[in-house]
Amino acid sequence: MSYKPTSFVCDSTSQLVEGCTLSVRMQKTGLWKRAEILSIKTEGGKRQYYVHFLDFNKRLDDWVGDDDLNLSSVRFPRNRHRQRMELSKESRKKLPDEDHTVSDEITKSQQSQLKQKSVHEIKNVQWIELGRHRIKPWYFSPYPQVMCAQPCIYLCEWCLKYVLSATCLGRHLMKCNLRHPPGEEIYRKNTISFFEIDGRRSRTYAQNLCLLSKLFLDEKTLYNDMDPFLFYIMTVFDSRGFHIVGYFSKEKMSGENNLACVLTLPPYQRLGYGRLLIEFSYALSKCEGKTGSPEKPLSDLGLLSYRSFWAQAILDVLINQKYNDSENKITISINDISEKTAISPEDVASTLKHLNIIMYYKSRYIVCVKGDMVKNHLKTKTKPQFRIDADCLRWVPKEWNGTLGKATRH
């Protein structure tokens, strides 16, 4: 049974149902883009539509009103009920005795469709307030229903506890003695610090951190068990305390994965902090004498940050290598680069390919870095204070054994 999508001119928005696709105005840009209606609600006598823009990241999903919909070309969802009836009829003809079973299967497949649909969760938190920042969430996060019913969730920026109102937060702050994340400070340079949090020792903090970060990470899976994870929180210091900027998590027994999840909070994005978090994860790998790689798949923004970090770290090695060598040619293997940067050989190879500087010549692979690329690289090198200084790291790798959460120091 084939299905041909057909578009209709729709007379009124009252005909629209969930699953319809049509042209919708994006709130931010004012541009019209094709979108699917995921949910419809009526508020104050007005219909509102929760839409997902096709080919765009879910963070742009939003509630829109009647005026934002273009009814000239609406595609309706196929009628699942009718399809089910037809399928049942067909199967009855062929397999009279097994009709029941077939219907059951159809019901199951419908259930799984519904399940898939519910994966596309509707954003449930309107605003959060964290320290000085009021932030609009990007994705769904399973905060308690009673919290989500409020226009804003208030978070203590030190322990990340969430409360219903500014008054409640004020009361909490009178009692909360923390002025930094509840772990050991393992790095400090200028105003930047890193704190190491053990998910087993600081379970509540780790859970609150995961709830907060889910608001900005679509792919994140929420685990109830925090014990197998370490969290590295990056902070900026001022007279009031150590303010959270971002973090990454790492599994204690992760093998080669040196990072599970990474987030820079929106007010600090595009300032070089994401790169710093990634650089720090490799600084820890170097300390452990290992090469590392992030857990895949990476988010769209995560991949961009990594690509830029890898390119910079690898070009640094190649360029310095060249200047130290008296000959015009140098020989360096992917493993050499990997050892120097702690970037896994696979990620080194994929970066060289992505930079388009590796080629096959006379039965060998050669890397050719052109002069303008060197110039650009030296020019765009981030400011020195935005690099990790390994001398400021006070950290001894731990050996995690079979019983998770128990560590022995070297």
Q: So which residues are the catalytic ones?
A: 295
Minimal distance in Å, beta carbon 176 to Zn ion? 3
Q: Which is nearer to Zn ion, 135 or 156 (CB)?
A: 156
156 binds Zn ion (CB under 5 A): yes
- Residue (of 295, 318, 181) closest to 246 by Cα position: 181
How far apart, in whole angstroms, are the C-alpha atoms of residue 221 and residue 62? 22
Q: Which is nearer to Zn ion, 187 or 205 (CB)?
A: 205
Q: How many residues bind Zn ion (CB under 5 A)?
A: 5
Residues whose CB falls within 8 Å of the CB of residue 382, separated by 6 or more in sequence, listed in order: 272, 275, 312
| 65 φ/ψ angles, rounded to the nearest 5 degrees | -105, 180
Minimal distance in Å, beta carbon 159 to Zn ion? 3
| 13 φ/ψ angles, rounded to the nearest 5 degrees | -65, -15
Q: Which pair of structure tokens corresponds to residue 214?
A: 């889910």
- Please, what is the end-to-end C-alpha distance for the chain in angstroms? 65
Q: Which is nearer to Zn ion, 161 or 286 (CB)?
A: 161
Which residue among 26, 64, 164, 176 contacts Zn ion (CB under 5 A)?
176
| 341 φ/ψ angles, rounded to the nearest 5 degrees | -105, -15
242 binds Zn ion (CB under 5 A): no
Which residue among 50, 143, 154, 158 contacts Zn ion (CB under 5 A)?
158
Minimal distance in Å, beta carbon 137 to Zn ion? 20
How far apart, in whole angstroms, are the C-alpha atoms of residue 233 and residue 250? 11
Give the residues across from 41 on adjacent strands.
Answer: 48
Minimal distance in Å, beta carbon 204 to Zn ion? 10
Q: Which is nearer to Zn ion, 161 or 220 (CB)?
A: 161
278 binds Zn ion (CB under 5 A): no
**Residue tagged 């022995």 (tokens):** 408
Q: Which is nearer to Zn ion, 156 or 337 (CB)?
A: 156
- C-beta of residue 234 within 8 angstroms of C-beta of residue 272: no
Q: Which stretch binds Zn ion (CB under 5 A): 152-160, 277-285, 287-295, 301-309?
A: 152-160
Q: Which stretch binds Zn ion (CB under 5 A): 150-158, 231-239, 259-267, 284-292?
A: 150-158
Minimal distance in Å, beta carbon 177 to Zn ion? 8
Which residue among 10, 130, 155, 159 contacts Zn ion (CB under 5 A)?
159
Minimal distance in Å, beta carbon 157 to Zn ion? 8
Q: Which of residues 187-226 bind Zn ion (CB under 5 A)?
A: none
Query: Where are the extended beta strands (E) located within 310-363?
Result: 358-361
**Residue tagged 């059951």 (tokens):** 104
Q: Which is nearer to Zn ion, 152 or 332 (CB)?
A: 152
Can you say whether residue 405 is alpha, beta or left, with left for phi > 0 and alpha for psi between -120 and 50 degrees?
left
Please name the residue ranges forming H helices in 27-120.
80-94, 99-119
Q: Which pair of structure tokens corresponds to residue 336?
A: 């050499």
Q: Which stretch binds Zn ion (CB under 5 A): 160-168, 288-296, 321-329, 379-387?
A: 160-168
Residues that bind Zn ion (CB under 5 A): 156, 158-159, 161, 176
